[in-house]
């Protein structure tokens, strides 16, 4: 608890009086009022920024600062003073203008050649986004950096483990519209980061953070998982050879298929970029060098004007996929099944050793056991499980009958059967479901087939009351978790 100065003095006097054996109330004649305190959410936002700066959190500084800025008025006393210091725009005694940005730095903090490189890369990144049809970052006019250009400040961020960040000192009102201007800060040399070259680190930082600046112009308050996933996706689209985002695939729908995709926390939101890579490769239409589908999703999430659609993250995804044809339910099931074969699914899956989505369980079918029995699994929203049916080499069977009893169709269930053979490519079958989520189908299980994988996927995106501060889409409570999925497989001669 943090007390206002006058109240802190009163509390100290009360404590001294108590230690002396005299009741504080008897001395003052009144009960001490502790005064207002900072809200728990605001203190958590402040602690998170300090944890990032202290190297105790891997969270991106951009959204940590956004959360602190939106909670700033709920802080009091020294908490607010600390927040104001952390939220202060960086400075510089020198500037240099480029086509789209103004670079600021203090004398001695950056070389002239490095400043030029920053400006050139920022111009290139923002130019690609503009050519791809994205709205340019909102201008703050002359209020911040003295010009209408996007301000980039060069600081020694590397000694705090930071590559860069963007922020807005003019956040939109909570009632909207939700577009906001941005400024950004980059490290002044990237000498502290050995994983890639300083130039490569500058490139992917510019691609990631400047995409955040673009996002602010659409909806400053958009869901964090979506903002981070698409900014990480953008890194790979602009600087494909750096592959910095591959490091996040250990926490992604590839490596963790049973975990819901849209949770904001830890590193998972960065690994979610693989979903947008999947969409980019399945829907390859491009503009200005970038896949169009992600821009279309952001246009559905746009809340910058009163007439904008202002969908939230996964809602925008679902509506764009519905317009594209397959919809989220089928796309999610196919995505989950494809993640069992990342080398064949993704252009860079083999070269970059994408992890393989793990199996949930394996069932062996043979001459004496042709029926798997009823298999029951529960699956959370935006998650999946894959079951394997192995075929004994000597058994006599021609087909595998599959009976599925899944949640009703409006809850988002999907199923895909993948038939693997000793030679040749697997055959992928998207299983049609009736409105009750039921299906009966048969797939090849004859000689030459080694096994059949059945992927059960939950694309349910029902949320309780939104904007309640949760870590899920729309800050709501998922309503489609722990849904029952049932499968029975029978080998038939």
Q: Are 319 and 300 in contact (CB under 8 A)?
A: yes
The string of pLDDT tens digits covering residues 305-344 is 999 999 999 999 999 999 999 999 999 999 999 999 999 9
Tell me the pLDDT band of 22, cut-offs 50, 70 and 90: very low
φ and ψ at 473, to 5 degrees?
-55, 140
Task: For residue 485, give both structure tokens.
Answer: 């999925």
Over residues 341-367, the mean pLDDT reads: 97
pLDDT in tens, 217-268: 999 999 999 999 999 999 999 999 999 999 999 999 999 999 999 999 999 9
- Strands 286-287 and 427-430 come out as unpaired
Asked if the model's pLDDT at residue 19 lies above 70, the reply is no
- What local confidence, expressed as pLDDT, does residue 143 receive? 83
Q: Kindly state the average pLDDT of the residues 161-182.
A: 96
Q: How far apart (Å, rounded) are the C-alpha atoms in residues 383 and 376?
A: 15
28 pLDDT more than 80: no
Q: What is the 3-state secondary structure (H, E, C) of the chain?
A: CCCCHHHHHHHHHHHHHHHCCCCHHHHHCCCCCCCCCCCHHHHHHHHHHHHHHCCCCCCCHHHHHHHHHHHHHHCCHHHHHHHHHHCCCCCCCEEEECCCEEEEECCCCCCHHHHHHHHHHHHHHHHHHHHCCCCCCECCCCCCCCCCCEEEEEECCHHHCCCEEEECCCCCCCCCCCCCECEEEEECCCCCCCCCCHHHHHHHHHHHHHHHHHHHHHCCCCCHHHHHHHHHHHHHHHCCCCCHHHHHHHCCCCCCCCCCCCCCCCCHHHHCHHHHHHHHHHCCCEECCEEHHHHHHHHHHCCCCCCCCCCCHHHHHHHHHHHHCCHHHHHHHHHHHHCCCHHHHCCCCCCCCCCCCCCCEEEEECCCCCECCCEEEEECCCEEEEEEEEECCCCCCCEEEEEEECCCHHHCEEEEEEEEECCCCCEEEECCCCCCCEEEEEEECCCCEEEEEEEEEECCCCECCCCCCCCCHHHCCECCCCEEEEEEEEEEC
**Which tokens belong to 398?**
């021609």
Burial environment of residue 414 by CB neighbours within 10 A (0 to 12, 13 to 18, 19 or more): buried
pLDDT of residue 31: 55
Domains along the chain with CATH numbers: 5-37 (no CATH), 90-345 (1.10.390), 361-492 (2.60.120.380)
Token pair of 472 as six digits: 């899920």
The answer to whether the Cα torsion of 336, 382, 296, 218 is positive or negative is negative
What number of residues does the chain have?
493
Least confident span in 22-26, 70-74, 80-84: 22-26
Q: What is the pLDDT of residues 81-128, one digit of tens each?
A: 999 999 999 999 999 999 999 999 999 999 999 999 999 999 999 999
Would you state the pLDDT for residue 280? 98
Integer Cα distance of 405 and 485 in angstroms: 6
What is the sign, positive or negative, of the torsion defined by CA atoms of 361, 366, 368, 369? positive
On the question of pLDDT at 286 being above 60, the answer is yes
Give residue 154's pLDDT band: very low, low, confident or very high (50, 70, 90). Answer: very high
Q: What is the mean pLDDT of the chain?
A: 92
Strand partners, 15: none
Please write the tens of the pLDDT for every residue from 248-261: 999 999 999 999 99
pLDDT at residue 449, as a whole number = 97
Residues 317, 336: Cα–Cα separation, whole Å: 16
pLDDT for 33 equals: 59
Is pLDDT above 90 for 457?
yes
Mean pLDDT of 163-173: 96
Closest CA to 336 of 259, 408, 400, 265: 259
Residue 301 · residue 294 · CB < 8 Å: no
Reading the block at residue 54, the tokens are 């202290």
Q: Which residues pair with 154 in a beta bridge?
A: 186
What is the value of pTM for the model shown?
0.91
pLDDT exceeds cutoff 90 at 32: no
Q: Where does the pLDDT of residue 144 fall: very low under 50, low under 70, confident under 90, or very high at 90 and above?
A: confident
Query: What average pLDDT does range 380-395 have in this prediction?
Result: 96
């Amino acid at each position: 608890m943090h007390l206002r100065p006058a109240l802190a003095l009163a509390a100290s006097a009360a404590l001294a009086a108590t230690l002396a054996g005299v009741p504080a109330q008897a001395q003052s004649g009144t009960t001490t009022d502790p005064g207002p305190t900072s809200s728990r959410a605001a203190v958590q936002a402040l602690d998170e920024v300090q944890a990032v700066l202290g190297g105790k959190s891997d969270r991106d500084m951009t959204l940590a600062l956004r959360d602190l800025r939106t909670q700033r008025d709920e802080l009091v006393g020294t908490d607010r003073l600390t927040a104001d210091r952390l939220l202060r725009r960086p400075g510089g005694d020198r500037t240099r203008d480029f086509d789209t940005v103004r670079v600021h730095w203090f004398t001695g903090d950056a070389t002239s050649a490095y400043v030029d490189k920053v400006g050139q890369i920022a111009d290139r990144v923002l130019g690609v986004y503009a050519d791809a049809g994205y709205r340019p970052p909102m201008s703050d006019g002359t209020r911040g950096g003295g010009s209408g250009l996007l301000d980039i400040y060069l600081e020694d961020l590397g000694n705090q483990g930071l590559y860069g960040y963007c922020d807005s000192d003019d956040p939109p009102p909570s009632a909207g519209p939700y577009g906001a201007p941005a400024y950004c800060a980059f490290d002044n040399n990237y000498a502290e980061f050995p994983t890639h070259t300083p130039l490569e680190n500058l490139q992917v930082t510019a691609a990631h953070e400047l995409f955040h600046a673009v996002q602010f112009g659409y909806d400053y308050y958009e869901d964090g998982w979506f903002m981070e996933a698409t900014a990480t996706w953008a890194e790979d689209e602009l600087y494909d050879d750096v592959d910095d985002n591959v490091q996040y695939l250990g926490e992604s729908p590839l490596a963790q298929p049973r975990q819901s995709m849209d949770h904001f926390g830890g590193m998972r939101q960065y690994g979610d970029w693989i979903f947008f890579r999947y969409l980019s490769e399945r829907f390859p239409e491009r503009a200005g060098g970038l896949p169009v589908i992600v821009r279309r999703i952001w246009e559905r999430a746009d809340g910058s004007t009163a007439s904008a659609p202002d969908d939230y993250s996964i809602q925008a995804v679902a509506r764009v996929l519905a317009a594209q044809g397959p919809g989220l339910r089928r796309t999610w099931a196919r995505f989950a099944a494809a993640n069992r074969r990342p080398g064949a699914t993704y252009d860079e899956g083999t070269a970059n050793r994408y992890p393989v989505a793990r199996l949930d369980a394996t069932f062996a079918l043979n001459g004496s056991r042709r029926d798997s029995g009823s298999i029951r699994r529960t699956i959370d929203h935006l998650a999946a499980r894959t079951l394997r049916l192995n075929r004994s080499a000597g058994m006599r069977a021609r087909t595998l009958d599959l009976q599925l009893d899944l949640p009703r169709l409006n809850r988002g269930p999907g199923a895909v059967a993948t038939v693997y053979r000793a030679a040749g490519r697997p055959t992928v079958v998207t299983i049609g479901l009736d409105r009750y989520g039921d299906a009966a189908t048969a797939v090849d299980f004859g000689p030459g087939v080694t096994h059949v994988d059945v992927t059960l996927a939950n694309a349910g995106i029902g949320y309780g009351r939104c904007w309640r501060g949760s870590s899920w889409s729309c800050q709501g409570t998922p309503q489609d978790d722990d849904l029952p999925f049932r499968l029975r497989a029978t080998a038939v001669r």
